[in-house]
Amino acid sequence: MGQTIVARIIRQFKETGSLTPKRKGKYGRKRKTTPKDDSYLIRKSKLDPRKTSSDLQKDLTSSGVEISASLIRRRLISAGRKSRRPQKKQLLTLKMQKKRLKWAKKHTNWTVEDWKKVLFSDESHNILLRFIAALKACAVACTVNVGFPSIVTHL
């Protein structure tokens, strides 16, 4: 180690009482986006959550800011915006639309009592859980074997 380096280290220790250098001013790479750019990205992302980072990149490029899509993803993640993939869903064909319309027209005159008799597919899980709970309750409370129809009527 050179004599000047040693002298500088000793002088720094005498002045500051520490060997770690104190940096003056800003250090590190300058950010490519300003806080205004970041808030613009977040606002655009909230307005249209389905916009991809590439779409947001095109928006920023048109306003004169050149940044990568990965940088946009990092900025959004640091702002608490989680990335999501849209759920793939089959679009309704013309045939499906006609069938639905026909079904809806057929059932327009149904009463509330008629609709109460219908089991919708999203309810089947809840009914199954209630059925299992009723079975457990019967198994604990009853010593006699209870038949299936009597359990269903108690739900």
Residue-wise pLDDT tens digits, 15-66: 887 777 666 677 778 888 889 989 998 999 899 888 888 999 998 888 888 8
pLDDT at 143 over 50: no
Task: State the Cα–Cα distance between residues 49 and 52, nearest whole angstrom.
Answer: 8
pLDDT score of 147: 47
Does residue 99 carry a pLDDT above 90?
yes
Contact between 73 and 51 under an 8 Å Cβ cutoff? The reply is no
Confidence class of residue 70 from pLDDT cuts 50, 70 and 90?
very high
pLDDT value for 90: 80
| Three-class HEC string of the chain | CCHHHHHHHHHHHHHHCCCCCCCCCCCCCCCCCCHHHHHHHHHHHHHCCCCCHHHHHHHHHHCCCCCCHHHHHHHHHHCCCCCCCCCCCCCCCHHHHHHHHHHHHHCCCCCHHHHHCCCCHHHHHHHHHHHHHHHHHHHHHCCCCCCHHHHHHCC
